[in-house]
Structure 1
Amino acid sequence: MKKIIFAFIIPCLSVACTILKNGISYSGEEGIFAKSVAQYPTQYRLVEYGEPNFELGIEFKSHKNGRIKGIRIKNPQSGNLRLSFWDADEKKLISTYTFNNGNPGKYNFGYFQIPVKANRTYCLTINVREYYYHVLTFDKLPLNLQEISLTNSVYAEGKYQRYPEFKVDNVIHGLIDLDFEWEVEKKIYGRH
């Protein structure tokens, strides 16, 4: 075991190593972005009979390379939800996941390993018939941090998976939270 650890440490002594810094979330563990919207009540919408479902969620821009290590969703619709991860710059689907929304009254957490690139814009969406949302009466998106920005709330109508082409800056749809870890170059130099 000591040989394996030693073999890993030696290459890092003279070159830059990339590590992931524990990240941020807008409404999860750290609640950094949530402090901006805490003054607004959580509202509820049920799609009426005959209306289509909604593909809705958040658009964000990563300012650094990193990954989404976890996703939290608070939605009144229990069971498995389809979670879609989109490249917003190219308007194309990157991945589809199944998210178990076991308790509709709280944020449910799922572990993920989704890589994101610096200066790219992405969307995370769910397709639902009912959802929670915040109306930002006094504030508007984007909500900015040094590492990441929550740029828009996005949506599209329809039961089938489709790119959420409509954007708003005064509502947060779907209450989707992501935990983001970003890359940090750490230089360690050996002794001479």
Structure 2
Amino acid sequence: MDVPALLEAASLLVPEKIATENDITVNDVWEYLVHDEWEVALGLLEEFGDVGPLPLGFWEALAAAAEQMGQEASAAWCHWRCFENRHGTIRVDLALRPAAETRRRTPIPGRGVLRPMWDIGNRREGGGPALDIACLWVEFTPFLEPGGRAPVRLAPLDPARWRRLRPGQVITLYEDRTAAGTAVVLEVAPPSGA
């Protein structure tokens, strides 16, 4: 499918009655599509993901359109949302330790490329912590500085091991043997389906 067809297909999966935080509706998106303003339409369609769960096909169509348009950041975000649709959403409030207290001296990239280890309460035989791996996506900013704090989305390598997380639970981020940060779980949502 070409870009207009992919964006049209995605827009057809957005319920007419919902609106974004800025009162944008799917009818507004159609106006941009009619005028071949695909980048604007793509950005607006991505905003609908914050209003309510949308089907996997919505995110797949947006990811394909973004890839064809050369919009790497949008494509990465839409692929991330495909993962969440299939495996569930985990959001945490992450506070990194200052650079003087850890090995990290550079910011954490925010677009899902870092795969740190986490102590989420799972245990090995003998009672020691069993660390689990999850990619992280920093919300609202391209990176997170040492000592910084931000809401973060997690994509576990093995989602089943993360099912016991609950809002309010504190988990610990590790990049080596020392704790690099702590996070309070904000949201744990099940897969939203196909």
Q: Same fold (TM over 0.5)?
A: no
Which has more helix, going by share of residues? 2
TM-score, normalising length: structure 1: 0.29
Q: Which has the higher contact order (CA 8 A, sep 6+)?
A: 1
Which has more strand, going by share of residues? 1
TM-score, normalising length: structure 2: 0.29
